[in-house]
Copies of this chain bind each other. A is one copy, B any other.
Amino acid sequence: MKRVYNFNPGPATLPLDVLKEVQAEFLDFDETGMSIVEISHRSQPYEKVHNQAKADILELMGLGDDYEVLFIQGGASLQFAMIPMNFATKDKKGSYALSGIFSSNAYKEAENLGVGKIAASTKDENFCRVPRQDELKIDADAAYFHICFNNTIYGTEYHYIPETGGVPLFADMSSNMLSRPVDFKKFSFIYAGVQKNLGPAGVVIVVAKKSLIEKSLETLPTMLRYDTFYKKNSLYNTPPAFSIYVVGKVARWIKNSGGLPVMAQRNFRKAKILYDVIDESDGFYKGHAHKDSRSLMNVTFRLPNEDLEKKFVAEAAENNINGVKGHRLVGGMRASIYNAMPIEGVEVLAEFMKKFQRKNKG
């Protein structure tokens, strides 16, 4: 079996042990005589998977019974619309910090509904950092304050939790969910498309205060109301069972590895290896993110010119390094090093970067 180091931003590398487990039991799940993709979502074997995944996620986040985990389809992009539809009004708008494309898209959905307001933006600096606390202009009567906690495209991440003056804090954590301990209790509503750190594309995990989601506007379509998911344990209709099942295994893998403190330790170490190569390259590699906003998950950097960048991607592939081409909005390279990227993969990339620099520094 061939296995590459997969630095794609999402879908992304998953723990090999989890993949092997999925493969081993794919034809006969839990002695049911059926595949996990064939069993009824109303059956006891499936409900066990579903409820265990929810419980493990809450436990990893250190959250209690006042929070609920929902599984919703449609990607974070559908959440961008559901959030203002459910929570904002023209009188109590949603307040948004723009720190990249996804936070801007989230704001656009609210704006399209006439219920969005910008609290801060670093667009003028090509989103090379997240807004600072002192830049946030959050209206006291805002329905919520929304941030994107890690910006996949730009390689930036919040290293502080914004103070909102009592306004409920909402966060898109699609690209750093469960990557390190965070005081999640400070958030009222967290959501994450799972395809970066947690599992196969097809489900968004919402972790929200029950008090927020237990009753939705009856004028909203059934599938756009959070209370539909809350009241029915995310089983109002057939859930994306396979994605939830793998997410459950990944959550278990995180727990068995030592939980978020151990993930953080590994992720800090991996990120440091790559940022050190950049910082010690005498300017050959230029990081896109400001140092105080550097993401532990997505390391973005440029090379001296585009020809070298193309050469870098091509030669990386020859060295079993896949998916390092950056997003067109930033250019250059991006190495996504989520929980499941092993330290060896990062070491291989770091060595390759140093060698590439030596050969090409002109």
Contact = CB atoms under 8 A, between A and B. Distances in A.
A33 B3 contact: yes
A331 interface: no
A224 interface: yes
**Chain A interface residue number, banded:** 35 or more
Contact of A3 (B28, B37, B112): B28
Contacts of A240: 73, 200-202, 240, 243
B11 A27 contact: no
B77 A223 contact: yes
B8 A39 contact: yes
A19 B23 contact: no
Contact of A73 (B8, B27, B73, B105): B73
A193 interface: yes
Contacts of A289: none
Interface stretch (A78-86, A267-275, A351-359): A78-86
Given A2-B28, A6-B34, A12-B38, 20 more contacts: A2-B32, A4-B32, A8-B43, A11-B37, A13-B34, A19-B35, A23-B26, A37-B199, A40-B323, A73-B74, A74-B78, A77-B223, A85-B221, A109-B221, A109-B222, A193-B237, A200-B240, A200-B242, A201-B241, A202-B243
B238 A195 contact: yes
A320 interface: yes
A246 interface: yes
Contacts of A76: 237
A20 interface: yes
7 tightest CB-CB pairs across the interface, nearest first? A81-B221, A4-B33, A202-B240, A73-B73, A37-B200, A2-B33, A78-B223
A41 interface: yes
Contacts of A153: none
Given A8-B38, A13-B38, A81-B221, A75 B32 contact: no
Interface in A222-264: 222-224, 236-243, 246
A343 interface: no
B81 A237 contact: no
A21 to B, nearest CB: 11
Nearest to A9: B40
Interface string A178-206: 00000000000000010100011111000
B223 A10 contact: no
Contact of A223 (B75, B201, B323): B75
Contacts of A147: none
Contact of A20 (B22, B27, B31, B41): B27
Contact of A74 (B1, B6, B223): B223
A322 interface: yes
A80 B40 CA distance: 22
A163 to B, nearest CB: 30
18 contacts: A8-B39, A11-B40, A11-B238, A12-B38, A19-B26, A26-B26, A32-B322, A73-B73, A73-B240, A74-B78, A78-B221, A80-B221, A81-B221, A113-B221, A193-B237, A193-B238, A195-B238, A201-B238
